[in-house]
Amino acid sequence: MLKVVLFDLDDTLVDQEGASRAALLDWLPELGLHLDDLDELVAAWLTIAEDAYARYQRREITFQDQRRVRVREFLGADATDDEADELFTGYLSRYERAWIAFDDAVPALRRVRDAGLVVALLTNGDSVHQRRKLDRTGLAEHLDVVVASDDLPAGKPDPRAYAATCEILGVAPGDVLMVGNDLEKDFHGPLDAGLGAVLLDRHDRYPDVADRIRTLGEVLPGA
């Protein structure tokens, strides 16, 4: 019996990629970088960020260190820790101002709660950072339980992340449906751990995945 719908946060409930793009658009001129190749620069930044964050999730580096790695690799700069921190602050302030929830996020969370189910979140983000994001976007009040990877022995898609989250929720894996946009972290990983899962595919990137939805409006549509 379904008891919990477990949502991802970034690019599922919050437009993280859009916020990052908006921040870069405003930040790059400050660094003396031209915007003629904006798409290329955004792609490079996102790739570097994903790789650095994966290292943080594997506990190879700290949360602050992954920020420093992103700045150094993106700029090709041999910056000290203090210099890297200052540079990243220029991006971070703009990124946080650009946070916004998708239009279908709050209605989906309300619909799940109205159906008598627990509305939970599992994010690979730093707990303090992600909770600030939830507060600023107005999502916090619509969630019953928030679990961040630094509360767990490992982040998604490590099987321990899903098992520990189920323990926190006090339910069996089969009682949980995971909803998120990442093919490995929010779909294959949960399925392999015994949870149910549907893939949120807003941009039609995974047409071969049968259990996918295009909007959060398709989560419990009849509820």
pLDDT digits (tens, 9 = 90+) for 23-73: 998 998 888 877 777 788 888 998 999 899 889 888 899 999 999 999 999
Q: Per the omega criterion (within 30 degrees of 0), is the bond before 157 cis?
A: yes
Residue 192 is assigned to a structural domain of this protein: yes
Does residue 32 share a domain with residue 84? Answer: yes
Q: Do 187 and 136 reside in the same domain of the chain?
A: yes
Residue 91 shares a structural domain with residue 117: no
Encode pLDDT of 152-176 as tens digits. Answer: 998 999 999 999 999 999 999 999 9
Q: Which amino acid is at 97?
A: R
Kindly state whether residue 23 falls inside one of the protein's structural domains.
Answer: yes
User: How big, in percent rounded to 5, are the helix, strand and coil portions of the chain?
Assistant: 55, 15, 35
d(CA 73, CA 83): 14
Same-domain status, 11 and 106: yes
Band of the pLDDT at 103, cuts 50, 70, 90?
very high
- For residues 91-114, one letter each, b for 16 or more C-beta atoms within 10 angstroms of the residue's C-beta and e for the rest, the string is beebbeebbbbbebbbebbebbbe
81 and 171 both lie in a single domain = no
The pTM for the full model equals 0.91
Together in a domain, 105 and 209: yes
What local confidence, expressed as pLDDT, does residue 223 receive? 59
Instruction: Give the Cα separation of 197 and 211 in Å (integer).
Output: 8
Range of the domain at 124: 4-15+100-218
Mean pLDDT of 200-208: 96
Residues 125 and 27 in one domain: no
In the listed set 97, 117, 144, which residue is the last one of a domain according to the structure?
Answer: 97
